[in-house]
Amino acid sequence: MHSSKREIWLGTLAMTPLSIAVAPWGFLVGAYALEVGLSPLEAQSLSLFVFAGTSQLVALGLMQAQAGFVAIMLTTLLITSRHLLYSMALRDKISPLPARWRYGLGFLLTDELFVHTPSNDGKPLNRWYALGAGLSFYIAWNLATLLGIIAGSSIPNLTELGLEFAVVATFTAMLVPMIRSLAIACCCATASTVAVLSAMLGWQAGLLLAILSGMFAGYLWEQVSEYLQLKRPWGTPSNQEEQA
């Protein structure tokens, strides 16, 4: 019991920088939810039960744009689909654990927790450490949301101070480091263009169409450039290096 407590604290400590960095995000989610028309309880529930920053913000943006239930769910599904990759990567380590651990760690499996959970080091998972990291991040996220709700309900024009831009600012800061290849750049360019064109035409399904076009454009670019590189002998070594 003593060592499990210690591991919880070590996990919490390791997560602290991310728990701090996520505070403006959580604050934004809380204040933005009120702006969109959610009650304080609904706003907090979003962070308590959904616990997924990107999905929460995008869903709020869609609610503000009067999007329908189906559009919100399909978009959530697309945004959250990357978590399938995390659960697959951690399958060998977490699936042998008892059910309550699987459910608990599964619920806490954010991008941030995944970063702190080595998936292929050959050692068994330190469950208490992972719990400490995941749970402390969950608490930080919900406290930040609560602060956003309090600030948003006591300062009426908080959202007119450029809060909508906070979504652009945070998403841009998340997106830029992700663009590591021409294929991803192609994906982003396609998604942006389709999204802007659909918005000009007033299409409801524009966001979904834009996301899918971007994903296929990136995938297609990747396939074509790999095919071309394989056909050229001088392109082969660097290509193999990248794949290794």
Partner 1 sequence: MIALTLAAMAVVVFASRYLFLEPRLPMELGPKLRRLMGYATPAVLSAVIAPMVLIHQGQLNSDWQNPYLIGAIAAVLIMLLSKNTLLSTVLSMLIFVALKFWLFA
Q: Which of residues 95-114 bind partner 1 (CB under 8 A)?
A: 95-96, 102-103, 105-107, 109
Q: Which of residues 135-154 bind partner 1 (CB under 8 A)?
A: none
- Report which DSSP code applies to 119: S
Task: Tally the C-alpha atoms within 13 A of residue 114's C-alpha that lie toward its C-beta.
Answer: 15
Nearest CB to partner 1, comparing residues 31 and 90 = 90
Cα-based distances in Å from 10 to 19, 92, 114, 222: 14, 23, 16, 40
Spatial distance between the Cα atoms of 153 and 144, rounded to a whole number of angstroms: 14
1 binds partner 1 (CB under 8 A): no
Nearest CB to partner 1, comparing residues 1 and 166 = 166
How near is the Cβ of 120 to partner 1 at its closest, in Å?
15
Task: Tally the C-alpha atoms within 13 A of residue 25's C-alpha that lie toward its C-beta.
Answer: 24
Spatial distance between the Cα atoms of 76 and 56, rounded to a whole number of angstroms: 8
Beta-carbon contacts of 82 under 8 Å, excluding residues fewer than 6 positions away, are: 111
Nearest CA to 25 out of 114, 112, 132 is that of 112
240 binds partner 1 (CB under 8 A): no
207 binds partner 1 (CB under 8 A): yes
Interface with partner 1 (CB under 8 A), residue from 10, 14, 50, 143: 50
Interface with partner 1 (CB under 8 A), residue from 40, 61, 118, 235: 61
Nearest CB to partner 1, comparing residues 2 and 100 = 100
Which listed range, 7-15, 52-60, 119-127, 147-155, lies at the site for partner 1 (CB under 8 A)? 52-60
224 binds partner 1 (CB under 8 A): no
Q: Between 63 and 102, how does the x/- string for binding to partner 1 read (CB under 8 A)?
A: x-----x--xx-xxxxxxxxxxxxxx-xx--xxx-----x
Nearest CA to 43 out of 54, 52, 35, 34 is that of 34
171 binds partner 1 (CB under 8 A): yes
Interface with partner 1 (CB under 8 A), residue from 150, 215, 229, 235: 215
Spatial distance between the Cα atoms of 63 and 67, rounded to a whole number of angstroms: 6
